[in-house]
Amino acid sequence: MDILLLTPLLFGFMLLLLFLGLPIVFALGGSAVILGLITQGPSSLLLATTAILNNIRTIVLIAVPLFIFMGNLLKVSGLAEDLYSAAEKWIGGVRGGLAVGTVLICTIFAACTGVSGAATITMGLIAVPSMLKRGYDRKLALGCVMGGGALGQLIPPSLLFILYGFLANESVGRLFASGFVPGLILSGLFIAYILIACHLKGSLGPATPSEDRGNWKEKVASLRSIIMPSLLIVAVLGSIFSGLATPTEAAAVGALGALIILVINGRLTWPNLKEALYGTFSLTAMVMWIVVGATVFTTIFTIAGGSELVKSLLLEITIAPIWIVVVMQLTLFVLGCFIDPTGILMLTVPIYVPVVKALGFDTVWFGALFVLNMEMAFLTPPYGVNLFYIRGITPPEIPTTDIYRSALAFVGVQATALILVLLFPQLALWLPNLLFGAEK
Q: List, for residues 355-367, the tens digit of each pLDDT value.
A: 999 999 999 999 9
Confidence tier at 6 by pLDDT (50, 70, 90): confident
pLDDT of amino acid 412: 96
Residues 132, 141 contacting (CB under 8 angstroms) = yes
Q: Report the pLDDT averaged over residues 223-236.
A: 89
pLDDT of amino acid 326: 95
Confidence tier at 172 by pLDDT (50, 70, 90): very high
Q: Does 440 score more than 70 pLDDT?
A: no
pLDDT of amino acid 260: 93
Q: Poorest-confidence range of 21-30, 126-135, 280-289?
A: 21-30
Q: Report the pLDDT averaged over residues 183-208.
A: 94
Confidence tier at 57 by pLDDT (50, 70, 90): confident
Q: Does 214 score more than 60 pLDDT?
A: yes
Domain ranges of the chain: 3-436
pLDDT of amino acid 331: 93
Q: Does 131 score more than 70 pLDDT?
A: yes
Return d(Cα 376, Cα 151) in angstroms, integer: 10
Confidence tier at 30 by pLDDT (50, 70, 90): confident
366: helix, strand or coil: helix
pLDDT of amino acid 411: 96
- Residue 198 neighbours by CB distance under 10 Å: 23
Dihedral sign, Cα of residue 58, residue 288, residue 338, residue 180? negative
* Cis preceding linkage at 395, omega within 30: no
- Residue 21 neighbours by CB distance under 10 Å: 7
Q: Does 114 score more than 80 pLDDT?
A: no
User: Residue 387 is which amino acid?
Assistant: L
340: helix, strand or coil: coil
Q: Does 169 score more than 70 pLDDT?
A: yes
Report pLDDT digits (tens) over 235-245.
Answer: 999 998 888 88
Please name the residues in contact with 353: beta carbons below 8 A apart, sequence gap of 6 or more.
Answer: 167, 168, 363, 366
pLDDT of amino acid 201: 93
Closest CA to 102 of 87, 115, 121: 87
Residues 71, 113 contacting (CB under 8 angstroms) = yes
Please name the residues in contact with 437: beta carbons below 8 A apart, sequence gap of 6 or more.
Answer: none
The secondary structure of 33-91 as a DSSP string is HHHHHHHT-THHHHHHHHHHHHHHT-GGGGHHHHHHHHHHHHHTSSHHHHHHHHHHHHH
Return d(Cα 112, Cα 251) in angstroms, integer: 10
pLDDT of amino acid 384: 87
Max avg pLDDT among 6-10, 18-22, 243-247, 405-409: 405-409
Return d(Cα 153, Cα 155) in angstroms, integer: 6
Averaged pLDDT of the chain: 89
Q: Does 370 score more than 90 pLDDT?
A: yes
CA distances from 400 to 24, 246, 411 (A): 24, 42, 17
Q: What share of the chain is helix, strand, coil (3-state, %, to 5)?
A: 80, 0, 20
Residues 86, 130 contacting (CB under 8 angstroms) = no
Confidence tier at 1 by pLDDT (50, 70, 90): low
Maximum pairwise Cα distance, the chain: 76
Q: Report the pLDDT averaged over residues 325-331.
A: 94
